[in-house]
Amino acid sequence: MRKYGVIGLGQVGATVAYTLVQQGTVDELVLIDKNEALATAQKLDLDDASARLSSTTKIILNDYSALADAEVLIIASGNIKAIDMTSSKGRFGEYDSNQAIVRDIAPKIVASGFKGILIDIMNPCDVMTDYLQRMTGFPRNRVFGTGTFLDTARMQKYVGQAVHTNGKNVSGYVYGEHGNSQFVAWSTVSVNGQPIQNFEGLDLKALEEDARQGAFAVMAGKHYTNFAIATCGVRLAEAVSADAQLACPVSAYDPDFGTYVGMPAVIGKNGIESLIKLDLTADERQQLSASAKFIKSQVDILPQPTVKN
């Protein structure tokens, strides 16, 4: 029996839940939200949809104890209204509200007896992933965030458009913060196996900025993002369940920096199976170090666990 949990049932969490139910990915799904009316409504809607699906998913509502035997727990809580993509704060608009959420839910997750893999979508993603690990005390490999998984997809899309090919033919990674200090490691990027440097006339700085501002392009029209980030969360959860050994960029703990930061890693049944350390250029290494330093500085100033993990 495959069992997942989702905490936070706003636009992103609801889309994660719908995707899991619609695809028949799980047999049981634990849904948790402090807004009981919203949680109940999401369950009722999903139950109604299930009547027309070939699969059946048992939905358990607002019961932390039901997480004890869950394989994966996706954290999608947040306050989207606090995000201001037009200012320098960006995703850090949720910093204050989400750190409080972490302190509220972390002890409840621990008390539930949950022993699975925790995947964070909360913003600012790297900071909150690090904070969740610190506050739960779970092994670092068992806690990771979506990080630059989505930013990399955006980079692939924009590069693909620029060279007139499907973005799926573009490989490479966006590193660093899921936020303003992220960067495209162009030394890792290729199109149909050809290094990006072989394609003349590309404005790499513009393409990098397009990837960085991709969320704003969506939010400008509907004031939130949900489909793409939920898809990323589900794909990572499925990689855990399948022990897929999926190589992809996520927010993972790097002991070299002492914090979580976006970089390629291998995802399997144990969560982060290993980090992928590529031979970056000196400038890329400096950008990664600076981004990680910023992330760590924002976690270190938060109230820390009373018992050192």
CATH code assigned at 72: 3.40.50.720
What average pLDDT is seen over the chain? 95
121 among annotated binding-site residues = yes
Task: Write down the pTM of the prediction.
Answer: 0.96
Percent of the chain with pLDDT over 90: 90
Asked whether residue 309 is domain-assigned, the answer is no
Query: In Å, how far from its chain's centre is CA 205?
Result: 24
Asked whether residue 306 is domain-assigned, the answer is no
12 among annotated binding-site residues = yes
**At which of 90, 112, 145 does a domain end?**
145
**pLDDT value for 309:** 46
What the block records as the tokens of 67 is 């997480």
Residues 159 and 261 in one domain: yes
Residues 106 and 191 in one domain: no
Residues 71 and 158 in one domain: no
**pLDDT value for 87:** 57
Q: 84 pLDDT exceeds 70?
A: no
Asked whether residue 165 is domain-assigned, the answer is yes
Residues 102 and 200 in one domain: no
Position 307 confidence tier, pLDDT thresholds 50, 70, 90 = low
Residues 158 and 293 in one domain: yes
Position 88 confidence tier, pLDDT thresholds 50, 70, 90 = low
**Residue 148 to residue 130: CA distance in whole angstroms:** 15
Q: How many domains does the chain have?
A: 2
**Residue 28 to residue 49: CA distance in whole angstroms:** 15
Sign of the CA dihedral with 97 first, then 100, 106, and 109 last: negative
H or E segment to which residue 230 belongs: helix 227-241
Q: What is the mean pLDDT of residues 289-300?
A: 97
Q: 308 pLDDT exceeds 80?
A: no
Residues 155 and 200 in one domain: yes
Position 89 confidence tier, pLDDT thresholds 50, 70, 90 = low
98 among annotated binding-site residues = yes
- DSSP 3-state assignment of 84? strand
Sign of the CA dihedral with 159 first, then 80, 141, and 135 last: positive
Q: What is the mean pLDDT of residues 72-77?
A: 97
Q: What is the mean pLDDT of residues 2-31?
A: 98
**pLDDT value for 94:** 84
Asked whether residue 305 is domain-assigned, the answer is no
Residues 162 and 240 in one domain: yes
Residues 290 and 200 in one domain: yes
The answer to whether the beta carbons of residues 228 and 153 sit under 8 Å apart is: yes
Summarised one tens digit per residue, pLDDT across range 175-209 is 999 999 999 999 999 999 999 999 999 999 999 99
The answer to whether the beta carbons of residues 208 and 159 sit under 8 Å apart is: no
Residues 113 and 183 in one domain: no
Residues in the chain: 309
Query: In Å, how far from its chain's centre is CA 141?
Result: 15
**At which of 88, 117, 145 does a domain end?**
145
Position 107 confidence tier, pLDDT thresholds 50, 70, 90 = very high
H or E segment to which residue 139 belongs: none
**pLDDT value for 264:** 98
**Residue 99 to residue 236: CA distance in whole angstroms:** 23
Asked whether residue 307 is domain-assigned, the answer is no
More confident residue, 6 or 86: 6
Quickly tell me which residue has 């358990």 as its tokens: 60
Quickly tell me which residue has 């009316």 as its tokens: 37
Q: What is the mean pLDDT of residues 150-169?
A: 98
- Amino acid letter, 229: I
CATH code assigned at 181: 3.90.110.10
45 among annotated binding-site residues = no
Q: 123 pLDDT exceeds 60?
A: yes
The answer to whether the beta carbons of residues 180 and 295 sit under 8 Å apart is: no
Catalytic residues: 178
**pLDDT value for 184:** 98
Question: Where does the chain show beta strands of DSSP type E?
Answer: 3-7, 28-32, 58-61, 72-75, 117-120, 143-145, 170-175, 183-191, 194-195, 246-254, 259-268, 271-275
Residues 227 and 90 in one domain: no
13 among annotated binding-site residues = yes
Q: 149 pLDDT exceeds 60?
A: yes
**At which of 98, 114, 145 does a domain end?**
145
Q: What is the mean pLDDT of residues 88-93?
A: 68
Tell me the Cα Rg of the chain.
19
Asked whether residue 88 is domain-assigned, the answer is yes
Residues 9 and 130 in one domain: yes
Summarised one tens digit per residue, pLDDT across range 207-254 is 999 999 998 889 889 989 999 999 999 999 999 999 999 999 999 999
Domain carrying residue 153: 149-300
Q: What is the mean pLDDT of residues 99-123?
A: 97
Residues 236 and 103 in one domain: no
- For residue 71, what are the CA distances in angstroms to 119, 209, 226? 11, 36, 23
**Residue 163 to residue 204: CA distance in whole angstroms:** 12
Position 125 confidence tier, pLDDT thresholds 50, 70, 90 = very high
